[in-house]
Amino acid sequence: MTIVERIKNLAKDKKISLAELERKTKLSNGTIRRWDEKTPGVDKVQKVADYFNVSVDYLLGRSDFHIETIAAHHDGEEWTKEELEEIERFKDFVRLKREKK
């Protein structure tokens, strides 16, 4: 999956257009679509990653895991299924990072 495809999927999930994303991240009109043929600058990719709260590695296809939020857990409470799944995703993310070093 290309960087543009990943961004399109994230935008679709968030129910915004690429044009709206470009306005919100202060990128010029059509910038993201051109990334299919031209390598984007790191600063621009970081803006998009920050907007979606994902890693640059995820956008670049170097990781299939993206972290959106970290679940809050309070002492004395039972762990929810979602919290346990999130912990597993994070463990996989860390494992992949270590393997790439």
pLDDT tens-digit map of 2-16? 999 999 999 998 999
Q: Which helix (H) or strand (E) holds 66?
A: none
- Kindly list the domain boundaries of the chain, sorted by start residue: 3-60, 69-101
41: nearest Cα among 67, 88, 3:
3
65: nearest Cα among 101, 90, 29:
90
CATH 3.40.50.2300 fits 3-60, yes or no: no
57: nearest Cα among 101, 12, 11, 13:
101
Quick check: 66 and 54 in contact, CB under 8 A? yes
**Tens-place pLDDT, residues 22-63:** 999 999 999 999 999 999 999 999 999 989 888 888 898 887
Q: What amino acid is encoded at 69 in this protein? A: T
User: What confidence score (pLDDT) does residue 73 get?
Assistant: 58
Rounded CA separation 29/13 (Å): 21
**Tens-place pLDDT, residues 57-101:** 889 888 776 655 455 556 677 877 877 887 888 888 788 878 776
User: What confidence score (pLDDT) does residue 4 get?
Assistant: 95
